Structure 1
């Protein structure tokens, strides 16, 4: 489990200038091409960050976990660009929304905010490298098993409330491929399948 990037003192400061939002699973926090109005900082739950190609096929880039934010939103906002990603709530989330103007002010007044952003950027860069390596060098079945293990660890549960289509979207592949590979994992007694649920054994 990676340590939290955000310090208690910085979190107190951010709460004093941001606003709280509670969002249910599958709610869309941000779409591609949206204007970025605020920087999300996850306090509880998780958000998955997706990228869509010209044909509408999606792939998971990374998760935003408690104590983290979306560095791509921050960079896009400070460069006055529209969002290049889609952010969807994975597990019911409590999110601190930090206005862009306040985020920019903190660059000048709070060194710990700058440190947080740089650490976050480094973590996201490593995760994106992992995505590239997985697509280039791993078979889909290996990527599927790794995704299920990551979800289980992040949610602290062996039971994953997720559909085959959702898993396929995160892997950037077809639902039929995922369904076939999940059946193979079930035969290998690594998982059990039920309606909209995958249980890791």
Structure 2
């Protein structure tokens, strides 16, 4: 199947320009779009949070995804590379009009897919390195990292309340209600009960 993907970031932008470009390209190439995907959403949103996500998950071998340019797929290079890498591994073709990319199953596309994957890994490592360097710099500047002094974690807040929790459990109260009463998250309470072996009966 052939898919046409159109994305604009704001309501003030129009999808018509992208639709026109894709239609004109398809006429030249004698291609028919079987399904259109249109959305108004920021490219910084993960594909899973956009209409693009479900479409990417169902694309099959030899399907073609056509968009005006690569930047329509995402705002960051890392996101775009991840999308391209997923598609190339599944032998899905991605064609862009302005960039004039024809990514498919040929050897050049496979080399490009490897480059995308390698670049993505390098980018992740660089981000991790920059984060570590930023934390080290803040420590050197005397900034105390982590939980503010004097503030206890939610788990520690429950310390000493074991008898109260056990009594409420014996009364048949739900963990959700007990957690709300003790002002902690239900999962925090459940983990505390498990760790402390607070069994009823």
Q: Same fold (TM over 0.5)?
A: no
Structure richer in strand, relative to its length? 1
TM, length-normalised to structure 2:
0.30
TM, length-normalised to structure 1:
0.30
Structure possessing the higher relative contact order (Cα contacts under 8 Å, 6 or more residues apart): 1
Structure richer in helix, relative to its length? 2
